[in-house]
Structures are given as C-alpha cells and as structure tokens.
C-alpha cells in the first residue's frame, strides 16, 4: 500500500472510533507533513522507512522547519507532531502494513502542561459586560459568554448545542456530540440561565428560522463554525482591553480555575468539564498553588518585610 492509502485508512479508522473532526484534521496535517518530507527523500513505501530517517525528520522539525509565517514550531506543536507520527506507525504495525515500527522509540520531549491565559474574576466580569444586550446579536453574545464561563464547555460542544439540550427550569444543560461522543449533564448558574432566557425569547426568534434547532446561531440563522465563534470571543477580549488574549479554551480554563479557588472538589470539576482522566483536571492545582505562593508572599509577616538584624 502507498503512504496515501495508509493515511486514508488510518483516518477512516479514527473517524469510525468517534474522534473529533478537529483532531482528525490535525493528524492529517501532521502526518501529511511527514509524508511530504519522505517523498522529497524518494521514500514512498511505508515498509522502507527507517529509524534514522524518522530521527532526521524530527531533527528537521526542531531546527529547520518554519510555518507559513516563518516561525518555528512551538514546543507543544513539536510534541503533537511526534505523538501523531508515532501513533500512525503503531497502527501500521498493528494492522500488519509494516513489519518493524521505526517510531517505536520517538525522541523524548519534556511533558508540556502550559495552560492558556486565565482571567481574574474582575477581568472575567469585564469581558462578560462588554457585550451590549440592546441588540439581538449582543444579547446572543452575552448568553454565549455566560455559558462558557458558567460551564467551561468546549467550543465545539457549544456550537453543537440544540434548543432541546437546555432545561432552564432546573438549570441544566445536556452537553453532547463532544469529545468521544459522550453526553454529560452540567449545571447552569443563575445568571447564565437569566441571559439564556432573554436570548431565547427576545433575540433568538429574530435570528433563527422556525425550523432551526441549533441553540446559538449566526446573524444569518446558521450554526456557528468553531473558528468563527473563537474569533468572536477573541474580538471581545480585544475590545475589553485585556492585557492577555482570551479564547473559548481560555474561558474553559478560567471556569475550572475559579471553581478550584472556590474550593470545589476536583472530581466535581472533572465531571463538569468532561475530562476522561482526573490527571487532566489536576493541571489546575498547579495554578492554584502558584496563587497560594503569591498570597503567602503578600500576606505572611515573614514575607512582607526584611529581617531586621538589630533584633538579634
């Protein structure tokens, strides 16, 4: 089989397994980048790829590759490239398309746990209040921001919400068609419920056609694309004049961090965010301990002043 046929088969398997469209697209780009490199080296048979050639490719990514803007790969992108390539060759070996796996021992990369920018509580309120509720789109945007901050759901999950996923009477939201196709119920805060009710009864009828079931729609009454919705949030962050950029992913992490600061149990946060593993949720404890260190330095008497040697 050719590389292209192997890649098509691999991506089809991922789709059948329920992987998100964005994840599959990323893997297509990263593995396709490798295939272009190998073809430039006149390597077209998956069975002919050697460990040395993969090592040279990984070195090229680290020191010689630049993107369309002339920038090198970030640490996270480099790690993702290595991971996706290794998984691809593992699948080729498992399905007997190759005899030996040249990516069995990929380069070791330090574990990258960098989180996106997280807003303070004051900054979060400023962002929410930057939407004017005096227009249908402004009221829609305020409801979107309130849902993001209240629930911490993923941008793809919010785009897929339907009017039937919402229960304002008991303050619950059914989040479905998200990662791994698993549904979960998350609580909605009272303020989020208030703005959702206003949006549904006052703004949405002016934006959505009668047969549209998607909850949040564009000004044309259509379902949002996740990229469009991300840009919408980013633009409100710029409008608010926040020192740091903000995105739907940043609001997700902000929600989790503020819940942790409010002493929410980490397993409850795990359920709200829809994390498969508690280890993913525990990343936020690192943010919390950093804040505690700042509090110690600011408030503890042994940190607030220099030691006076005259006392000895």
Counted domains in the chain: 2
What would the pLDDT profile of 256-278 be if each residue is shown by its tens digit? 888 877 777 767 777 677 666 66
Of 94, 109, 137, which closes a domain? 94
On whether both 162 and 18 belong to a single domain, the answer is no
What would the pLDDT profile of 13-68 be if each residue is shown by its tens digit? 998 888 888 889 999 999 999 999 998 888 888 888 998 898 899 888 888 888 77
**In the prediction, which pLDDT does 222 show?**
93
Domain that holds residue 291: 121-297
Domain assignment of residue 114, yes or no: no
Greater model confidence, 77 or 108: 77
**In the prediction, which pLDDT does 155 show?**
87
Domain assignment of residue 101, yes or no: no
* Residue 214, pLDDT above cutoff 80: yes
**In the prediction, which pLDDT does 46 show?**
86
pLDDT class for 1, splitting at 50, 70, 90? confident
pLDDT class for 106, splitting at 50, 70, 90? confident
On whether both 149 and 288 belong to a single domain, the answer is yes
| Of the ranges 17-21, 117-121, 199-203, the best mean pLDDT one | 199-203
On whether both 126 and 88 belong to a single domain, the answer is no
On whether both 85 and 147 belong to a single domain, the answer is no
**In the prediction, which pLDDT does 144 show?**
95
Domain assignment of residue 249, yes or no: yes
Would the CA dihedral through 56, 62, 64, 66 be positive or negative?
positive
User: Which secondary-structure segment (H or E) carries 302?
Assistant: helix 301-304
* Residue 177, pLDDT above cutoff 60: no
What would the pLDDT profile of 61-86 be if each residue is shown by its tens digit? 888 888 777 778 877 788 888 889 99
Instruction: Record the tokens describing residue 115, joined without a space.
Output: 């989180």
**In the prediction, which pLDDT does 309 show?**
38
pLDDT-wise least confident of 95-99, 135-139, 227-231, 257-261: 257-261
pLDDT class for 132, splitting at 50, 70, 90? confident
What is the average pLDDT value for the chain, to the nearest integer?
81
On whether both 211 and 259 belong to a single domain, the answer is yes
* Residue 307, pLDDT above cutoff 50: no
* Mean pLDDT within 300-304: 49
* Mean pLDDT within 142-148: 93
Distance in angstroms (rounded) separating the CA atoms of residues 265 and 256: 11
pLDDT class for 302, splitting at 50, 70, 90? very low
On whether both 126 and 208 belong to a single domain, the answer is yes
Bridge partners (DSSP) listed for residue 167: 172
On whether both 137 and 278 belong to a single domain, the answer is yes
Backbone angles phi, psi at 292, to 5 degrees: -65, -35
DSSP 243: S
Question: Which residues are the active-site residues?
Answer: 154, 179, 249, 252, 275, 284
pLDDT-wise least confident of 1-10, 237-246, 270-279, 291-300: 291-300
Domain assignment of residue 305, yes or no: no
Domain assignment of residue 39, yes or no: yes
Instruction: Record the tokens describing residue 188, joined without a space.
Output: 């909605």
On whether both 148 and 184 belong to a single domain, the answer is yes
Asked if 177 and 219 count as a contact pair (C-beta separation under 8 A), the reply is no
pLDDT class for 308, splitting at 50, 70, 90? very low
pLDDT class for 161, splitting at 50, 70, 90? very high
- Would you state the torsion angle of the CA atoms of residues 240, 292, 270, 113, taken in this order, to the nearest 10 degrees? 80
On whether both 251 and 183 belong to a single domain, the answer is yes
Distance in angstroms (rounded) separating the CA atoms of residues 54 and 37: 10
Domain assignment of residue 99, yes or no: no
**Which CATH number is 30's domain given?**
1.10.150
């Amino acid at each position: 089989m050719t590389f292209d046929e192997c890649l098509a088969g691999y991506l089809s398997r991922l789709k059948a397994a329920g992987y998100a469209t964005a994840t599959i697209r990323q893997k297509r780009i990263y593995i396709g980048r490798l295939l272009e490199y190998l073809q430039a080296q006149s390597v077209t048979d998956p069975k002919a790829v050697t460990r040395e050639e993969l090592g040279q490719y990984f070195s090229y990514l680290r020191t010689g590759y630049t993107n369309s803007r002339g920038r090198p790969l970030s640490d996270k992108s480099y790690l993702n490239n290595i991971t996706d390539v290794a998984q691809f060759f593992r699948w080729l070996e498992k399905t007997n398309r190759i005899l030996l796996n040249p990516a069995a021992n990929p380069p070791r990369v330090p574990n990258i746990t960098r989180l996106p920018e997280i807003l303070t509580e004051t900054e979060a309120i400023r962002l929410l209040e930057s939407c004017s509720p005096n227009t249908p789109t402004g009221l829609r945007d305020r409801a979107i921001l309130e849902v993001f901050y209240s629930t911490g759901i993923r941008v793809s999950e919010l785009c897929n919400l339907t009017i039937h996923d919402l229960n304002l009477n008991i303050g619950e939201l059914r989040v479905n068609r998200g990662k791994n196709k698993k549904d979960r119920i998350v609580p909605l805060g009272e303020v989020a419920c208030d703005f959702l009710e206003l949006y549904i009864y006052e703004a949405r009828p002016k934006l959505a056609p009668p047969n549209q079931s998607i909850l949040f729609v564009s000004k044309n009454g259509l379902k949002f694309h996740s990229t469009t919705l991300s840009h919408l949030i980013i633009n409100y962050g710029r409008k608010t004049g926040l020192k740091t950029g903000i995105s739907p992913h940043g609001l997700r992490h902000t929600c989790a961090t503020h819940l942790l600061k409010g002493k929410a149990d980490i397993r409850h946060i795990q359920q709200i965010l829809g994390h498969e593993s508690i280890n993913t949720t525990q990343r936020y404890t690192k943010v919390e301990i950093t804040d505690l260190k700042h509090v110690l330095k600011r408030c503890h008497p042994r940190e607030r002043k220099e030691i006076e040697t005259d006392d000895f």
